[in-house]
Amino acid sequence: MAQISIDGDTLVVEIEGLDKLWALKSRLAIPLANVRGATADPGIVSGFFKGLRAPGVNIPGVITAGTFRLDGEKVFWDVHDAARTVVIELADERYARLVVEVADPRATVALVEQATTSR
């Protein structure tokens, strides 16, 4: 699971627990200027193929975590529970999008959307 917060002009994604090990990341910091928006999207988790792991782990129905390459883009994943998935779209960043599980998807989407529209 991930914890998302806003620190000044930066979106901060803190990876929690053992997910740090599986995702090979503990924290991502993205300038808000490069955040295009966020949506709650549990459907994105369906299907087996998430892309080529580079590096990461994908055990369908259990965990998808790490960096995956799909259609020429890098996508960061950290999801156990599809129902709590948020997708954050990025521009001019290493990742094209972040697909993360959060405690409260609606609140997280509202936080990101408010931060990106108020800058």
Q: What is the mean pLDDT of residues 100-116?
A: 96
Taking all residues of the chain, what is their mean pLDDT, rounded to a whole number?
Answer: 91
Distance from the first to the final alpha carbon of the chain: 27
pLDDT tens for each residue of 4-50? 999 999 999 999 999 998 898 999 999 999 999 999 988 887 765 56
pLDDT higher than 70, residue 110: yes
pLDDT-based confidence at residue 60 (cuts at 50, 70, 90) = confident
Give the Cβ contact number of residue 98 at 10 Å: 23
pLDDT higher than 90, residue 107: yes
Q: What DSSP element (H or E) covers 114?
A: helix 105-117
- Are 102 and 83 within 8 A, CB to CB? no
